[in-house]
């Protein structure tokens, strides 16, 4: 059993320390903006398992990077596995990551994320399921998976539909980026604390001997809300109307009829640039997820993820966004045919069973 003595594990990617009432896990793959590998996910999960009976009051997830909390999963590695037909490695990554998401949600003591910089994809999987999500003035959150031929996973089909109104559908489909004001408005963040005061939160929890509630500590160290109006709040009525539609064609039709033509035109342009297959999968998963438990959502996402990464849209999306960086993907026709009555994803017979030819550059580049 882990004690509250200092613990340091793998300083190159994940650092962990338990001191006083606080356990701290630091993501330290700085050069890759903490893009998650299978090994990193396993180490975080193992640390949380060791600390479960250590008598801690809270666990903090933070970053050693000055730019990012976590930029997501190591997508290039997943694409490389797909090209090589290595389904085992890809399945291991997703299943390990999703089990960590569930562990965070079910953890017996509060888990708090310090989001001071970029937090996308898998970074939201680490933060959104925890009790406290602290953003600073530097926070930038997004689920941009539809732009690379994938879909919002890591339990997003559970937490996005539970955001107010149709905000979750809007964020999941468009990949819109959120600053601190937007993150607080929609509920993906719970508190705002200036970046210079994050260390004070950890110190206060470590040194506390009175059992002071974490919420009280956060309120005492938090400052005014970040400067600037929430863009989500400004467009909330239009977002709820347009993205509350049941189908993608109706969402587009409502956008075309929206009074705020500038916002609607920009949103329509965004959707037009994204993978049609990804948009279809995302909307169906979010619709189903609104009535499912987190573990049910994660199980459905795992089944879909195993197949999506074999499709040409995923390989093309990675090429355009992360390898050649031309931002001009050539999307194909969707191979997703919805879910069966018993919940299994259905694919066209010529769908994701084939592995596209290797894309130049993916094999030798890191995130």
Which positions are catalytic? 73, 122, 145, 153
User: Which helix (H) or strand (E) element contains residue 282?
Assistant: helix 276-289
Q: Distance between CA atoms of 177 and 309, rounded to whole angstroms? A: 24
Task: Annotate 272-328 with DSSP letters as a single string.
Answer: HTS-HHHHHHHHHHHHHHTTS-HHHHHHHHHHHHHHHTTSHHHHHHHIIIIIS----
Q: Which residue has the tokens 């705020």?
A: 260
Structure tokens at 216: 């009280």
- Rounded CA separation 175/107 (Å): 28
Judge contact between 126 and 77, C-beta under 8 A.
no
Beta bridge partners of 120: 142
The vertex-112 CA angle with 39 and 8, nearest 5°, equals 45
Reduced to 3 states, what is the DSSP secondary structure of residue 114?
Answer: strand
User: What's the rounded Cα separation, in Å, for the pair 208 and 288?
Assistant: 43
Q: Are 178 and 288 in contact (CB under 8 A)?
A: no
Q: CA angle, corner 98, sides to 307 and 297, nearest 5?
A: 70
Q: What is the DSSP code string of 119-148?
A: EETHHHHHHTTSSEEEE-TT-EEE--GGGG
Note the helical H segments in 20-178: 38-51, 75-84, 87-106, 122-127, 156-159, 167-174
Closest Cα partner for 22 from 110, 81, 94?
110
Q: Tally the residues of the chain.
A: 367
Q: 357 in helix, strand or coil?
A: coil
Query: Residue 330: how many CB atoms within 10 A of its CB?
Result: 10
Distance between CA atoms of 47 and 32, rounded to whole angstroms? 22
Measured distance CA(70)–CA(127) in Å, rounded:
10
């Amino acid at each position: 059993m882990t004690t509250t003595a200092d613990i340091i594990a793998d300083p190159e990617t994940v650092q962990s320390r338990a001191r006083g009432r606080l356990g701290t896990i630091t993501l330290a793959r700085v050069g890759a903006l903490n893009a998650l590998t299978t090994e990193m996910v396993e180490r975080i999960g193992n640390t949380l398992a060791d600390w479960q009976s250590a008598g801690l009051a809270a666990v903090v997830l933070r970053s050693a990077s000055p730019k990012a909390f976590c930029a997501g999963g190591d997508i290039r590695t997943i694409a490389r596995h797909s090209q090589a037909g290595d389904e085992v490695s890809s399945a291991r990554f997703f299943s390990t990551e999703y089990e960590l998401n569930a562990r965070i949600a079910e953890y017996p003591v509060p888990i708090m994320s310090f989001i001071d910089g970029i937090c996308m994809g898998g970074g939201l999987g680490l933060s959104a399921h925890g009790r406290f999500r602290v953003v600073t003035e530097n926070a930038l959150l997004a689920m941009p998976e539809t732009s690379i031929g994938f879909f919002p996973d890591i339990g997003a089909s559970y937490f996005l539909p539970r955001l107010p109104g149709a905000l979750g559908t809007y964020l999941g489909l468009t990949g819109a980026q959120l600053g601190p004001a937007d993150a607080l408005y929609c509920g993906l963040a719970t508190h705002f604390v200036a970046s210079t005061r994050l260390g004070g939160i950890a110190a206060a929890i470590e040194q506390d001997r009175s059992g002071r509630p974490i919420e009280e500590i956060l309120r005492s160290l938090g400052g005014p809300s970040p400067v600037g109006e929430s863009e989500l709040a400004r467009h909330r009525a239009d977002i709820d109307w347009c993205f509350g539609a049941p189908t993608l064609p109706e969402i587009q039709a409502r956008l075309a009829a929206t009074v705020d033509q500038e916002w609607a035109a920009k949103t329509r342009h965004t959707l037009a640039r994204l993978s049609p297959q990804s948009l279809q999968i995302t909307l169906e998963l979010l619709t189903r997820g609104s009535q499912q438990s987190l573990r049910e959502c994660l199980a459905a996402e795992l089944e879909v993820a195993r197949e999506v990464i074999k499709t040409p849209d995923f390989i093309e999306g990675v090429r355009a966004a992360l390898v050649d960086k031309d931002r001009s993907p050539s999307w194909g026709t969707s191979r997703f045919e919805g879910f069966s009555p018993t919940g299994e994803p259905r694919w066209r017979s010529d769908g994701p069973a084939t592995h596209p030819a290797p894309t130049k550059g993916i094999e030798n580049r890191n995130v």
